[in-house]
Amino acid sequence: MAIVKVKKITFIVHKSEKDELVDTLQEAGIVHISDIKEDPDFKNLPEVKEKKVESTNPEIEYTLSRIRRVIEFFNQFDTKKGFLETFFEIKPEITEDDLKTVSQRYDYKRTLSRVEEIEKRLTEIKNLEVNLQSKIDSLRKWYDLDLPLEEIGESEKVEIIAGTVPINNEEELKKIEGIETSVVSLDSRFTYTLIVFLKEDAARIKNELLKIGFEQVDFRGMKGRPRELIEKYKKEIEKLEEERIKQTEEARKLAQEKLNLLIVYDYLSNINSKYRVSGQGIETKATFLVLGWIKEKDLKKVDKIVKKFDSATYIVADPGPEDNPPTFIDNKKSIKPFELLTKLYGLPNLREVDPTPLLTPFFAVFFGLCLTDAGYGISLIILSLLLMKKLGKMQFLVVLLYGGITSIFAGAMTGSWFGDLFTSLPIPFLHQFRNSLLLFDPMVNPMPFFYLSLAFGLLQVELGLLVGFYKRVKNGEFLDGLANELSWFFMLLFVILAYLISSKSGKSFGDVLFHSGFIGYLMAFFIFAPIALIIFLSGGTSGSFIVRVVKGLYNLYGVTGYVGDLLSYVRLMALGMVTAGIAMSINIVAKLVLPVPYIGIILAILIFIGGHLFSIIINVMGAFVHSLRLQYVEFFTKFYDNGGYEFKPFSIEGYYTEIKK
């Protein structure tokens, strides 16, 4: 309903003015550029087919990726993130002027290369440290060896080797002839042993050592006694550690320039997107041509843009049948926040209806029924107002605010104020206040809540069917609409009406229809005529009569689906009861700790506040998810096919920052 009309616009300009045109379009921010290669009017032209345009600037792309890396590296120095920031993304605000001035003044290339050096050095240091530490670990067992390590190995006549022997095989070691051994240290599994033998026996002895599980340790490249070496390595690690701290400190200082880097990133990425847009157009011998979509109301502004150029002109056209224009939905300010929910599902295409105004009242009411607590409603309003103050007027928070308001009504209606708080406190005024607003108490008599949920379900399903019918008529499919949506609409309505009358009056269902005079027959007509329509018409127009009727009968079987849809709305009641139950249990526990001497009252208050805060989060979550599900699964399926994509005008955008005009 509120889908904004868009038109296709094609700009033609002399090649020499191409860059200015792209600049101007970006600044204006009103045209959604689309690729000329995919446009049905142009894509078959030989020039377009063969076009090869660099769509981005590799040098800028490279710089952008370097900046991204450095920003990620800087993130470790961020002051601790607030609780809110883990849930919401908060971008720093800058102006368009900042974008240019900061990027020109700030020597980001120097920062980038310095940070990259530091990062590289830090990795090196880490590797060196690991290496040294593993050397220390391997030397530790040889600490008591009073022999410079370079002397291990072969000399003129003798050979010295060092290694480990499994502790069980020590006896066998002693049995080997022609060796001198010296145990340096031992642990629960090995002895760390030095073995000396004559070189001429080497082959035999090594073979025998192998048999008893001897493993040689390699000290090549190490000079000095183990204890000296360990000291030396420890000192080296200390030095590296000092350097690491120094380097990190410098990086931490550089990280203070992070905001500047964010700005440069956005500046460069906006330049990059100009290359992208140029690539989506095409150059001929003398002209540059680019096309896109524009909102009808923005067409006035185009003349102003074109006037700046000597050679520019433009063509406006309505979207043709082959076109797939982007969608821009625009609603009244009061329901605009709920566009969020539509976008989550997927935007409508041009032939669709914007479901936002339809889902808004239902979502708000359902949310309230799921939460069903006036105390929680008030808390939710306060919480979302506080968050808005900190984070700005985010759509999500406005939706929560609406939900808080409906929760107050639902809670007052069912007498739920922080669960059963008002009835469990011995304050008569609160009892009277609660009871004066009370419509029914679901803890005593849950059935009204049950029927209320079903009634809302019927209302929404029926509305969905009507909208579906409207959509079919709009697209010239009146008969299909009559045989499907409209038939179901009347059948559901009158079956339920007749059932209600029969249960109220005590007459049987058949008597209500056929023995109640004209009104009865009228109801019977609206039940059986739709059934006939579904059987004979809903099977489509192709295929033989039998096939169509079988299809129609199968469609009639869809009644189980409608029963399921209606029952699905009972979740409104279930979630309302769960809220009341959790809240009541918190109150009970708070009451139980009250008799604890001295600190009882404090404990009770802590449990009350903490418990209800937790319960609000849990139940708001449930209320949101389930209200949304009812829109998507039960409501949208009756009329809505998403298939649109978002209208995103080519403009100056911030990736890391929020750019204010």
Q: Give residues in contact with another protein (CB under 8 A).
A: 86-89, 344, 446, 567-568, 570-571, 573-575, 577-578, 581-582, 584-585, 588, 618, 621-622, 625-626, 628-629, 632-633
Pick the closer one to another protein by CB: 513 or 623: 623
Dist CA 568 CA 367 (whole Å): 15
Cβ at position 592, least distance to another protein in Å: 8
- Nearest Cα to Cα of residue 164 among 181, 144, 146, 147: 181
Pick the closer one to another protein by CB: 72 or 146: 72
Cβ at position 207, least distance to another protein in Å: 50
Pick the closer one to another protein by CB: 166 or 622: 622
CB neighbour list of residue 484: distance below 8 Å, 6 or more residues apart: 468, 472, 534, 538, 555
Pick the closer one to another protein by CB: 315 or 621: 621
CB atoms within 10 A of CB 525: 13
Pick the closer one to another protein by CB: 7 or 629: 629
Cβ at position 656, least distance to another protein in Å: 12
Q: Which helix (H) or strand (E) holds 63?
A: helix 58-74
Cβ at position 426, least distance to another protein in Å: 16
Cβ at position 622, least distance to another protein in Å: 6
3-class SS string, 308-347: CCCCCEEEEECCCCCCCCCECECCCCCCHHHHHHHHHHCC
Cβ at position 419, least distance to another protein in Å: 11
DSSP code per residue over 524-536:
HHHHHHHHHHHHH
Residue 179 tokens read as 């060796």
Dist CA 525 CA 79 (whole Å): 72
Pick the closer one to another protein by CB: 84 or 459: 84
Dist CA 196 CA 180 (whole Å): 5
Pick the closer one to another protein by CB: 196 or 589: 589
Dist CA 371 CA 369 (whole Å): 5
Cβ at position 628, least distance to another protein in Å: 7
Q: Which helix (H) or strand (E) holds 459?
A: helix 447-474
Three-state secondary-structure class, residue 145: coil
Pick the closer one to another protein by CB: 213 or 622: 622
Residue 544 tokens read as 């033989």
Pick the closer one to another protein by CB: 361 or 446: 446
- Nearest Cα to Cα of residue 515 among 532, 495, 528, 501: 501
Q: Are 377 and 406 in contact (CB under 8 A)?
A: yes
Q: Which helix (H) or strand (E) holds 196?
A: strand 190-198
Measure the N-to-C terminal CA separation of the chain; round to a whole number of Å. 30
Cβ at position 75, least distance to another protein in Å: 8
Cβ at position 499, least distance to another protein in Å: 20
